[in-house]
Amino acid sequence: MQPSITRIMEPALPDDLAGVPADVLIVEDDPIIAIDFEDRLMGFGVKSVRTVASVAQALQAIAKRAPDFALLDVELVREKSFAIAERLVVLKIPFVFVTGYGAEASIPPEFSKRARLQKPCSSDALEAALQVRAARSR
C-alpha cells in the first residue's frame, strides 16, 4: 500500500513527540495543581499551555484561540466545567476531565464515556491521555 502524499510530506518527529498537542488549555481552580500540569505538559513537548480558573475565562480563551486539547477540572470553585465540555464537543476538540472525586463525581450522561484522570494523576496517566488524543486525531 502506497503512503499518501500528505503522510510523506509531514515532518518526522521523534516517537516521544509524535502526536503531542501544540496548545493545551488547562481549566483548574487550584494554582498548585495547574502549575504542576503545566510543567509536566511542557516536559512532554507541548509548546503552549494556557491556564484559566473559571468557565467564563475558559470560554473566552477558546473563543480567542481554540486549543488542540484541554484538561477540565470537573469541580471549579462555584461551578462545574460541563459548559466548557459542551463547547469543546461542538468544536471537536479533545479533552479529558480531571477530578479528585473519583467514580462518584457526578458526570452528566452525555459525558459519561469521556476519559477522566483522577487527581493526583501520574505523569504516565497524563501522557497517556495526550496519546489517546493523538490517536483519535489521526
Q: What is the pLDDT of residues 104-132, one digit of tens each?
A: 567 888 998 888 898 888 999 999 888 76
Share of residues in the chain with pLDDT > 90 (%) = 61
How does the average pLDDT of the chain come out, rounded?
Answer: 83
Average pLDDT on 8-16 reads 38
- The CATH homologous superfamily for domain 20-137 is Response regulator (3.40.50.2300)
* CA–CA distances in Å: residue 135 to residues 18, 90, 95, 96, 130: 10, 19, 13, 14, 9
User: Can you point out the beta strands (E) in 29-79?
Assistant: 48-52, 69-73
Q: Domain ranges in the chain?
A: 20-137
Average pLDDT on 45-65 reads 97
| pLDDT value of position 112 | 86
Starting from the edge strand earliest in sequence, which strands make up the sheet with 116-118, in order?
Answer: 48-52, 23-27, 69-73, 95-99, 116-118
Query: Which residue type occupies 6?
Result: T
Average pLDDT on 62-66 reads 98
β-pairing, 23-27 vs 48-52, is parallel
Among 57, 53, 18, smallest CA distance to 137 is for 18
Average pLDDT on 82-88 reads 97
| pLDDT value of position 132 | 64
Q: What is the pLDDT of residues 18-48, one digit of tens each?
A: 578 999 999 999 999 999 999 999 999 999 9
| pLDDT value of position 100 | 82
Q: In angstroms, rounded to a whole number, what is the distance separating the alpha carbons of residues 50 and 82?
A: 19
